[in-house]
């Protein structure tokens, strides 16, 4: 069950809109979005990518609509897509109208590119007639020139004014089915803009650090911005804008929401220790192998891989399943209880088998099937390792004395 940690500020009260059959805002779960990288006129290629995104946990997908051929492609994609389709519009009002004719579930308009008030209101009227929501997608890199001049650049105030100006145009034609984003590649700018916007409207907010770049730096930048706001209770839907396969965007988004307790876990969550002087196994290699094999199962469990039979069981106590390795053996753990001792070369195999049984049978059944001698055998292994390594594997007591002596001498 998803659970918000105590450090998470309660979600900001926002109105709810529907993107196809997916609710965004209100009390609905924070959703994950991505965007196809195929040419939209390539119907089969685009659908193949959409299905891959759906399989990874995507809730809403955006496709570019920059030419007539793309709009024609959307008309064929929409009825076959497992996800609601949002058409991405930049410069041409005709493409927005064509996308609506194609039957899309939503539009994204960039106020910095589609600027004529009458055209903007025309799209809003057409969207209202079809009950199709619009995202006002402000981007720090494409603000209206007048706002650059007014604020001396892309500032939080400039991004927010751009969004609210567009929102007011929508209101002139009584259109309120709107979500808003104020994205920037500068993380601090992005955070400040969303904080400001959250105080000024109750429309749902779409979070993202635009043009975050390739992993790992892009992942860090996007997480820094998105996670900060989510922890403050701001945000109703998110996208990681990575220079990577869009499936990686979805995986990152899902992992973030699951880590914050904002979505139910739907796949593997593998935790592993960073290793230390007590480790008797190659923890990095073991963790990589375990992740590779367990990800194939796509089971909603948390698995811990620990390199020490002394501290490992305690550190893995909260995980659904774990393994602690040492001295040619592995201690298989379920919810902190050692249920079996296996050979080192069988550890990954044991994890995979137990993971499948655990999901199929449940905790009580698997704990009941535990080897009655496992705890005693594990205790002997811990004693042997402590005798070999000592209780102070880093020689910390000696180091402390050396530190004190050096400080005194100074």
**Same domain assignment for residues 219 and 278:** no
**Same domain assignment for residues 137 and 235:** yes
**What are the pLDDT digits (tens) for 344-354?**
889 999 999 99
Sheet-wide strand order for 206-207: 178-183, 134-139, 106-109, 85-89, 60-64, 31-35, 237-238, 206-207
Length of the chain: 410
Q: Is residue 9 part of a domain?
A: no
CATH code where residue 328 lies: 3.30.413.10
Query: Total domain count for the chain?
Result: 2
Read off the pLDDT band of 1 (50, 70, 90). very low
**Same domain assignment for residues 64 and 173:** yes
| 284-289 mean pLDDT | 89
**Same domain assignment for residues 249 and 293:** no
Are 109 and 91 within 8 A, CB to CB? no
Average pLDDT, the chain: 90
Q: Is pLDDT of 46 > 70?
A: yes
**What are the pLDDT digits (tens) for 54-89?**
999 999 999 999 999 999 999 999 999 999 999 999
**Same domain assignment for residues 111 and 233:** yes
CATH code where residue 204 lies: 3.20.20.20
**Same domain assignment for residues 111 and 204:** yes
Q: Is pLDDT of 375 > 60?
A: yes
- Which of the two residues, 377 and 1, has the higher pLDDT score? 377
How high is the pLDDT of residue 39?
96
| Integer Cα distance of 57 and 193 in angstroms | 28
**What are the pLDDT digits (tens) for 237-266?**
999 999 999 999 999 999 999 999 999 888
| 364-368 mean pLDDT | 93
Q: Is pLDDT of 192 > 60?
A: yes
| Integer Cα distance of 114 and 102 in angstroms | 20
| Integer Cα distance of 254 and 246 in angstroms | 13
Tokens of 162: 């751009």
Structural domain range at position 201: 17-259
pTM comes to 0.83
pLDDT-above-90 percentage for the chain: 72
């Amino acid at each position: 069950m998803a659970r918000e940690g105590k450090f998470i500020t309660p979600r900001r009260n926002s109105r709810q809109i529907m993107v196809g059959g997916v609710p965004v805002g209100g009390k609905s779960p924070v959703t994950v979005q991505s965007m196809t990288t195929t040419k939209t006129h390539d119907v089969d290629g685009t659908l193949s990518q959409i299905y891959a995104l759906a399989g990874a946990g995507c809730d809403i997908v955006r496709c570019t609509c920059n030419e007539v051929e793309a709009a024609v492609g959307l008309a064929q994609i929409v009825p076959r897509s497992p996800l609601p389709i949002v058409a991405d519009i930049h410069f041409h009002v005709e493409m927005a109208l064509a996308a609506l004719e194609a039957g899309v579930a939503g539009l994204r308009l960039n106020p910095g590119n589609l600027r004529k008030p009458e055209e903007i209101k025309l799209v809003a009227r057409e969207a209202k007639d079809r009950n199709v929501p619009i995202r006002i997608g402000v981007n720090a890199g494409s603000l209206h020139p007048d706002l650059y001049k007014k604020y001396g650049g892309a500032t939080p105030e400039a991004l927010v004014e751009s969004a609210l100006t567009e929102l007011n145009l929508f209101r002139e034609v009584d259109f309120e089915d709107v979500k808003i984003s104020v994205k920037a590649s500068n993380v601090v700018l992005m955070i400040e803009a969303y904080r400001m916007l959250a105080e000024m409207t109750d429309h749902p907010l779409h979070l993202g650090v635009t043009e975050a770049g390739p992993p790992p730096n892009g992942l860090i930048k996007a997480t820094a911005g998105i996670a900060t706001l989510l922890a403050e209770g701001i945000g109703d839907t998110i996208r990681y804008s990575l220079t990577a396969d869009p499936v990686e965007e979805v995986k990152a988004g899902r992992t973030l929401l699951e880590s914050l307790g904002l979505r139910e876990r739907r796949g593997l969550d593998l935790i592993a220790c960073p290793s230390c002087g007590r480790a008797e196994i190659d923890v990095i290699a073991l963790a990589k192998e375990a992740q590779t094999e367990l990800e194939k199962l796509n089971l909603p469990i948390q698995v811990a891989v620990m390199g020490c039979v002394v501290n490992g069981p305690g550190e893995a106590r909260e995980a659904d399943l774990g393994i602690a390795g040492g001295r040619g053996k592995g201690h298989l753990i379920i919810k902190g209880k050692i249920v079996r001792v296996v050979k080192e070369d069988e550890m990954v195999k044991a994890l995979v088998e137990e993971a499948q049984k655990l999901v199929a049978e449940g905790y009580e059944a698997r704990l009941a099937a535990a080897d009655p001698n496992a705890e005693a055998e594990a205790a002997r292994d811990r004693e042997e390792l402590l005798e070999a390594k000592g209780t102070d594997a880093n020689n910390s007591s000696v180091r402390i004395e050396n530190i004190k002596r050096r400080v005194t001498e100074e």
